A and B are shown apart, each in its own frame.
Chain A
Amino acid sequence: MSKSKNKKTRTKIEIDYSICGEGGKIDPRDCSLCMRSCDPAVFVMHPTIGTEKKQEDPYDPQDWRITPIWGSLCTRCFKCVNACPENAITITW
Chain B
Amino acid sequence: MCQWCLKHGAGKKWYLNSRNYHADQLSSEAEMTDYLTEQWMNFEQIYIRKIAGFSSKDLGYKLKMPIIGRILRWRAESMIHSESKNRNAKNADGHFGQVIPLEDAQLIMSELAAEPIICNYCMCRWMQRKEKEAVCINFGVLSEVLEKLPRFIPKDRTYRIDRETAMEKLEEFNKKGYISSVWFQPVPYINAICSCESPECGGFTLRNNFDLHVMYKAEYIIQLDQDKCQGCKQCVAMCQLNAIRFIPSMNRVIIDYDKCFGCGICRHACKNDALKLIPREEYPGFDGTY
Contacts and interface: CB of A to CB of B under 8 A. Distances in A.
B202 to A, nearest CB: 9
A80 interface: no
A35 B47 CA distance: 15
Nearest to B126: A45
B128 A35 contact: yes
A73 B56 CA distance: 14
B129 interface: yes
A46 B60 contact: no
B127 interface: yes
A59 B41 contact: yes
A60 B56 CA distance: 24
Given A35-B130, A67-B57, A41 B45 contact: no
A85 to B, nearest CB: 15
A41 B150 CA distance: 24
B58 interface: yes
Contact of A69 (B56, B126, B150): B56
A69 B48 CA distance: 7
Interface string A18-48: 0000000000010010011000110111110
A77 to B, nearest CB: 14
Nearest to A57: B150
B128 A10 contact: no
Q: What are the nearest 7 A-B pairs in CB distance?
A: A72-B60, A46-B44, A32-B130, A71-B58, A41-B199, A41-B128, A46-B45
Interface of B: 41-42, 44-45, 47-48, 56-61, 126-130, 148-151, 199-200, 205, 209
